[in-house]
């Protein structure tokens, strides 16, 4: 019998497991992949605040980011330099494996190569069935089950949890390149409809090239590779590019009797960029407190775990909803609109505002300040910004909206 079984061995599940075990909680983590951290589609960019707030393993840092090249649909370039490094590029395999080693050192049992095929719940227990080597079933009993399953929602309906509002898609490849490159972002529908594309230089003469889009990323990624990396060896074909769906919007409820969802499985994802590690870690920290209190008080009912959703939505929902609103508005812009925004950004004091208000993980204040700033230059804005006042009102409404969770009295969790 375990106290907690965590389904999913990504950064959020591993961090939560290690934090719980440090307090004496007996935890087992079940990971479908045979090796932690392998075959992950991720830029590997994590903000400075996350490393400072969660004591993340700095040994996995590949490089820091301070300067970025921005490319418009027409090829115009802007070089932005932040006052200080604002994020780190990490080796995701090393990052995940270091979190796993930390968790194991604290007493967590991590079982890789096991696919969870069933989760059963009774009044007194959770039983998780895992399949190993495609034929051998193994059973794990616990008082609480945490779903840290990323973009997999196969057990949500069965356990009484909600489903995502929608998805976007991320695709990425890793290239070998002898040249020195900057961190680069491409914008516009020609590059990535409803999103953006990126170039992330790594050590050992490697590059990550990928994009986030509202549609299939693969043909657009092939186009970028052929245009900007014509000398690259063995460029992948469309069918060789892997992509993944990324959750967008609140997943509610993210709890039920004896069950919590954390990270992307709860919709704890930045809707502007698709990044999920920082918000997922914030959700894991809140879940940790609620789980420890449940174990102390022997309270495993839905009414107790509802505190978890109230707390994480109170912290993150405004950011998630506002980001979703602005990403949808951005998807309405054509390439001419985006190019005109580049001209405004170059000439009308946008980047000083970004330097003052920009935060890699918290985007709402910058978004609202940029809307306010752009409204002072109506003559220079694209025609679609004739509705900018409606967008502004919508953004403010989303930012001021309270979490749609019934407030219930509860004991403060220290």
Q: At what angle do helices 277-297 and 11-22 cross, to 10 degrees?
A: 30
pLDDT of residue 409: 36
Q: Is the previous residue joined to 253 through a cis bond, with omega within 30 degrees of 0?
A: yes
Tell whether the model's pLDDT for residue 286 goes beyond 80. Answer: yes
400 contacts: CB under 8 Å, gap ≥ 6: 318
Tell whether the model's pLDDT for residue 155 goes beyond 70. Answer: yes
Q: How many CB atoms lie within 10 A of CB 235?
A: 15
Rounded-to-integer distance, Cα 29 and Cα 110, Å: 5
- pLDDT classification of 281: cutoffs 50, 70, 90: very high
- pLDDT classification of 325: cutoffs 50, 70, 90: confident
Tell whether the model's pLDDT for residue 315 goes beyond 50. Answer: yes
Helices (H), 125-276: 218-228
Kindly state the average pLDDT of the residues 145-163.
96
Tell whether the model's pLDDT for residue 310 goes beyond 50. Answer: yes
Q: What percent of the chain has pLDDT over 70?
A: 88
Tell whether the model's pLDDT for residue 303 goes beyond 90. Answer: yes
Token output for 139 = 């059973």
Kindly state the average pLDDT of the residues 299-314.
96
pLDDT of residue 391: 58
Average predicted confidence (pLDDT) for the chain: 88
pLDDT of residue 397: 64
Tens digit of each residue's pLDDT (9 = 90 or more) over 359-400? 889 888 888 877 777 776 666 566 555 545 555 566 566 656
Instruction: Tell which residue, 12, 89, 83, has the closest CA to residue 48.
Output: 89
pLDDT of residue 348: 66
pLDDT of residue 372: 75
Q: What CATH number belongs to 2-62+90-165+250-315?
A: 3.50.50.60
Tell whether the model's pLDDT for residue 22 goes beyond 60. Answer: yes
Token output for 127 = 């039983």
Q: What percent of the chain has pLDDT over 90?
A: 66
Rounded-to-integer distance, Cα 317 and Cα 300, Å: 25
Q: How many CB atoms lie within 10 A of CB 94?
A: 16
pLDDT of residue 144: 98
- pLDDT classification of 176: cutoffs 50, 70, 90: confident
pLDDT of residue 410: 39
Kindly state the average pLDDT of the residues 49-70.
95
Class of the CATH-defined domain 167-246: alpha beta
Question: Half-sphere exposure of 6 toward its Cβ, with a 13 Å CA cutoff?
Answer: 36
Tens digit of each residue's pLDDT (9 = 90 or more) over 231-260? 665 677 776 788 999 999 999 999 999 999
Token output for 170 = 């991320």
Kindly state the average pLDDT of the residues 22-32.
97
- pLDDT classification of 15: cutoffs 50, 70, 90: very high
Q: What residue ranges of the chain are covered by domains with CATH 3.30.9.10?
A: 167-246
Kindly state the average pLDDT of the residues 72-82.
92
Q: What residue ranges of the chain are covered by domains with CATH 3.50.50.60?
A: 2-62+90-165+250-315
Model pTM? 0.91
């Amino acid at each position: 019998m375990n106290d907690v079984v965590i389904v999913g061995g990504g950064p959020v599940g591993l961090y939560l497991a290690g934090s719980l075990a440090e307090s004496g909680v007996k935890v087992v983590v079940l990971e479908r992949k045979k090796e932690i951290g392998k075959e992950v589609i991720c830029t590997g960019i994590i903000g400075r605040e996350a490393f400072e707030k969660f004591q993340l393993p700095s040994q996995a840092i590949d490089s820091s980011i301070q300067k970025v090249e921005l490319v418009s649909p027409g090829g115009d370039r802007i070089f932005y330099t932040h006052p200080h490094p604002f994020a780190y590029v990490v080796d995701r395999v090393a990052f995940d494996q270091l979190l796993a080693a930390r968790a194991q050192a604290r007493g967590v049992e991590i079982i890789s190569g096991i696919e969870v095929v069933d989760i059963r719940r009774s009044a007194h227990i959770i039983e998780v069935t895992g399949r190993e080597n495609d034929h051998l079933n193994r059973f794990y009993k616990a008082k609480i089950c945490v779903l840290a399953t990323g973009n997999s929602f196969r057990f949500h309906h069965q356990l009484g949890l909600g489903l995502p509002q929608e998805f976007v898609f991320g695709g990425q490849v890793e290239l070998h390149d002898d040249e020195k490159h900057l961190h680069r972002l491409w914008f516009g529908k020609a590059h990535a409809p409803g999103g953006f594309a990126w170039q992330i230089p790594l050590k050992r003469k490697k590059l990550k090239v990928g994009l986030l889009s509202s549609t299939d990323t693969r043909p657009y990624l092939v186009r970028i590779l052929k245009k900007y990396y014509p000398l690259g060896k063995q460029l992948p074909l469309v069918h060789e590019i892997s992509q993944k769906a990324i959750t967008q919007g609140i997943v509610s409820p993210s709890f039920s009797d004896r069950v919590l969802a954390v990270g992307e499985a709860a919709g704890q994802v930045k809707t502007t960029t698709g990044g999920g590690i920082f918000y997922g870690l914030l959700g894991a920290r809140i879940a940790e407190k609620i789980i420890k209190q449940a174990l102390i008080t022997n309270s495993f009912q839905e009414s107790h775990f509802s505190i978890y959703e109230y707390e994480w939505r109170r912290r993150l929902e405004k950011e998630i909803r506002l980001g979703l609103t602005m990403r949808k508005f951005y998807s309405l812009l054509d390439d001419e609109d985006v190019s005109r925004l580049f001209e405004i950004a170059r000439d009308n004091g946008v980047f000083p505002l970004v330097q003052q208000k920009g935060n890699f993980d918290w985007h709402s204040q910058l978004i609202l300040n940029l809307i306010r700033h752009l409204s002072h230059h109506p003559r220079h804005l694209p025609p679609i910004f004739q509705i900018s006042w409606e967008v502004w009102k919508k953004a403010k409404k989303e930012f001021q909206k309270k979490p749609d969770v019934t407030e219930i009295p509860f004991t403060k969790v220290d």
